[in-house]
Amino acid sequence: MTRFWIALSLLIAMLGACLANSMYLDDLTCSITSQLSAAEEMAERGAWDQAIAITEQCLADWNSHHAYLHIISRHSDTDEILISFRCVLQSLKLNEMDEYAAENLELITKLRLLAEIEQPDLLNVL
Amino acid sequence: MSDHTCDGVGFLFLRTFSCGCILFFFREKLGCTRLFGNGGVFLFTGLIRTIILYLVIIVGIRLMGKRQVGELEPSELVMSLIIADLAAVPMQDYGIPLLTGVVPILALLSLTMMLSVLTMRSLRFRTLMCGRPSIIIRKGRLEIEEMRRNRLTVDELLEDLRVKGYADPSLIYYAILETNGQLSVLPKTAVKPPVNRDLGHKVPDSELPIVIISDGRVLDNNLQILGHDRVWLDKQLKGRSPTSLFLMLADSAGVVYEAQKEGIS
């Protein structure tokens, strides 16, 4: 029965790790998306510098989790988010509100989708 | 594959791997950064992932304790095929995390281990998972209903019997279709070759031969099991070196089998 308990423990440990991963990723993306939304509000009020600072902080946050994200996510997904960040920053620096809003929305959507994929959801399973 | 070919392949692999390591770690000094992609090393990624996945599968399969495909139950065979497929995906697609292959493989191995233990412990569970052996020929009579139940055609039955050495089904007393799909055959006594007991010969049981020398290496543990020592071995070798032998088997009575290495007289 020892092997049975070892196998069961391994399964439970993997399940726990998956659930912890989905919670952590959800928290991370929620935190970044809320900051990105706050940056957009700043930009609407004309505080472009503050919007740039907040977005750069979000990018730094994202990069600090680079290794972790590469281990658990598709590399193409994380690369696309990185590209989106650069596009958003570029639009911010050019003070182009319409383009910035569109790029920001796309970035926020990609972040949310990345977290959604990891959620223990019946839709994801099916 | 002979030892020499294995050695050659091993040497080639080590040489390639060493060159790759040197190129990778000193790529900037050597000016060969273009050999490797920005942010990634495709050749290395593939190599390391293959090694990791291979080791994970080997360890897992060994822990399961099955060594031959022929011994696997159907569920275990399916599991093996799925694992092979799962391992191939991250080996070939470097954009997918390695965990995408490792986690499902570990999950499958864990589930299989659990089912295997439950199968051993519970007769009902064993019947549910593995089924029961089916008697296809009972006391010389073909059980047609059992054949239909197992979707065993006449051609398949005759083929299995021929493989076992019986072209005539009338020679068979019992034929049992095992849960792993193999057909076990018990011939009628009249056509069974006689054994010593039938002929009234009393022959002592032979001991199990144990490997004493394997590929030139003396297995001292096995020598001790047989109650012998190096002095005994030297007497059997009659002046030859143990490294000149590829295989030596012995039992408590003495040496049973010897095979010289190729190229050594």
Give tens-digit pLDDT for A101-126: 999 999 999 999 999 888 888 877 77
The confidence score (pLDDT) of residue B28 equals: 52
In terms of pLDDT, which residue wins out, A84 or B69?
Answer: A84
Are A4 and B117 inside 8 Å of each other by CB? yes
Rounded mean pLDDT, B245-259: 87
Asked if residue B176 has pLDDT above 90, the reply is yes
Q: Which among B63, B97, B121 has CB closest to A72?
A: B97
Residue of B113, B118, B119, B120 best to disrupt the A interface, most CBs of A under 10 A: B113
Asked if A10 has any chain B CB less than 8 Å from its own CB, the reply is yes
Asked if B120 has any chain A CB less than 8 Å from its own CB, the reply is no
Tell me the pLDDT band of B18, cut-offs 50, 70 and 90.
low
pLDDT in tens, A56-95: 999 999 999 988 998 888 889 999 999 999 999 999 999 8
Identity of residue B195: V
Tell me the pLDDT band of B84, cut-offs 50, 70 and 90.
confident
Are B103 and A8 inside 8 Å of each other by CB? no
Asked if B259 has any chain A CB less than 8 Å from its own CB, the reply is no
Asked if A3 has any chain B CB less than 8 Å from its own CB, the reply is yes
Are B95 and A4 inside 8 Å of each other by CB? no
Closest approach of A41 to chain B, Cα-based (Å)? 34
Identity of residue B166: Y
Asked if residue B77 has pLDDT above 50, the reply is yes
Asked if residue B66 has pLDDT above 80, the reply is no
Rounded mean pLDDT, B90-99: 86
The confidence score (pLDDT) of residue B24 equals: 53
B94: closest chain A residue by CA: A75
Asked if A91 has any chain B CB less than 8 Å from its own CB, the reply is no
Closest approach of A43 to chain B, Cα-based (Å)? 33
Closest approach of B34 to chain A, Cα-based (Å)? 20
pLDDT in tens, B23-47: 555 555 555 555 444 444 567 888 8
Tell me the pLDDT band of B173, cut-offs 50, 70 and 90.
very high
DSSP chain B: --HHHHHHHHHHHHHHHHHHHHHHHTHHHHT-GGGS-TT--HHHHHHHHHHHHHHHHHHHHHHHT---GGG--HHHHHHHHHHHHHHHHHHH-TTS-THHHHHHHHHHHHHHHHHHHHHHH-HHHHHHHH---EEEEETTEE-HHHHHHTT--HHHHHHHHHHTT-S-GGGEEEEEE-TTSPEEEEE-GGGSPP-HHHHT---PPPPPPEEEEETTEE-HHHHHHTT--HHHHHHHHTT--GGGEEEEEE-SSSEEEEEEPTT--
Closest approach of B189 to chain A, Cα-based (Å)? 43
The confidence score (pLDDT) of residue A70 equals: 86
Asked if residue B207 has pLDDT above 90, the reply is no
The mean-pLDDT minimum among A28-42, B103-117, B132-146 falls in B103-117
Asked if A6 has any chain B CB less than 8 Å from its own CB, the reply is yes
Asked if A12 has any chain B CB less than 8 Å from its own CB, the reply is no
Asked if residue B115 has pLDDT above 90, the reply is no
Are A74 and B63 inside 8 Å of each other by CB? no
Instruction: Single out the residue of B177, B183, B192, B188 nearest to residue B139, CA to CA.
Output: B188
B104: closest chain A residue by CA: A14
Asked if residue B76 has pLDDT above 50, the reply is yes
Contacts of B98 in chain A (CB under 8 A): 71
Contacts of A7 in chain B (CB under 8 A): 109-111, 113-114, 117
Tell me the pLDDT band of B13, cut-offs 50, 70 and 90.
very low
Q: Which among A1, A8, A14 has CB closest to B106?
A: A14
Contacts of B97 in chain A (CB under 8 A): 70-75
Residue of B99, B100, B121 best to disrupt the A interface, most CBs of A under 10 A: B99
The confidence score (pLDDT) of residue B21 equals: 54
Closest approach of B100 to chain A, Cα-based (Å)? 8
